Amino acid sequence: MLLVTDSRISRLVELPARRGGLLRMRVHLPCAKGVVGIAEVRTLLVGDVLLRAVEANGVQVVHEIVHPELPPEQAKALDRAVTALGIHRPADAVGSAQVHVFGEKQGQTPTEGIWIEVGPVRQSVADIPGLDEGDGADPLVTRLALLSHAYGRPFALTAQRLADAERTLRQWRHRVAEWARAPSRPIPDDIRRQARATLAEDLGTPALLGVLRGVEAAPEMAEGAKFETFAHLDRVLGLELIRDVGRG
């Protein structure tokens, strides 16, 4: 069972997602003044994490991304963001959606389905890392920074938060590459239950990242189990934590 906050009624509701079933989702991007920015990135990310969490529970998800008409350069920027951030590619259309993800209140709300509203986001840095062609930065740093805060709350993307995310991502990838050399061990049952509970309660990605921090610091946990835990949870987080395995 996965619970999310339905913003129309301001309470947690269960997603209509049963193992072996199908969930239809529509992601609504505000694109104010015809521009793709950090608000759109955050909305895309919430939709993607929701998709990954639902599919991890054995449910197929089809989704589409809708937005106002964009100038050609902004349409290209949106396509770059989808690719760079590891967002699942959308379908052309999904018909009647059961779940809607909104970047912000956009005047008209859907009459059907669950309405998930993403909190406002403020950007105090000049550029979003990795989303401009040829800048060489890792866009998943931005993904980690955004996942570190509850999706429904206001968020400020600052240089310090990006620096913290970059340091964490670099450290985790290095540790995962080290742990990969150890014999494989199963994920402890209590860790698996804890991770499942955090995601089931309104996409608790900050708490899920906390689970990873606890695993990293646990002296009694086998390195092979640490590797399996990080690799397994990254299926939802989408941070490419196993990227450096086998390098060097």
Statement to judge: residues 28 and 103 lie in one domain: yes
Residue 148 resides in a domain: no
Statement to judge: residues 18 and 99 lie in one domain: yes
Q: Which helix (H) or strand (E) holds 28?
A: strand 22-28
Burial 4-24 (b: 16+ CB within 10 A, else e): bbbbbeeeeeebebeeeeebb
Residue 99 resides in a domain: yes
CB 45 within 8 A of CB 85: yes
Residue 129: its pLDDT value, please? 76
Residue 140 resides in a domain: no
Statement to judge: residues 114 and 188 lie in one domain: no
Residue 106: its pLDDT value, please? 61
Cα separation of 131 and 69, whole Å? 20
CATH number at residue 208: 1.20.120
Cα separation of 146 and 3, whole Å? 20
Residue 131: its pLDDT value, please? 75
Q: What is the pLDDT of residues 130-185, one digit of tens each?
A: 777 667 789 999 999 999 999 999 999 999 999 999 999 999 999 999 999 999 99
Residue 124 resides in a domain: no
Cα separation of 19 and 244, whole Å? 33
Residue where a domain terminates, one of 88, 118, 148: 118
Q: Strand pairing partners for 62?
A: 24
Residue 7 resides in a domain: yes
Print the domain residue range for 60.
3-118
Statement to judge: residues 171 and 112 lie in one domain: no
Q: What is the pLDDT of residues 62-113, one digit of tens each?
A: 999 999 999 999 999 999 999 999 999 998 888 899 999 998 766 566 668 9
Residue 160 resides in a domain: no
Asked whether the CA dihedral 83, 87, 89, 91 is positive or negative, the reply is: negative
Domain count, the chain: 2
Q: What is the DSSP letter of 123?
A: E
Instruction: Tell me the residue type at 218.
Output: A
- Report the DSSP pairing between strands 121-123 and 3-6: unpaired
CA distances from 30 to 18, 63, 231 (A): 30, 17, 33
CB 6 within 8 A of CB 65: no
Residue 191 resides in a domain: yes
Residue 81 resides in a domain: yes
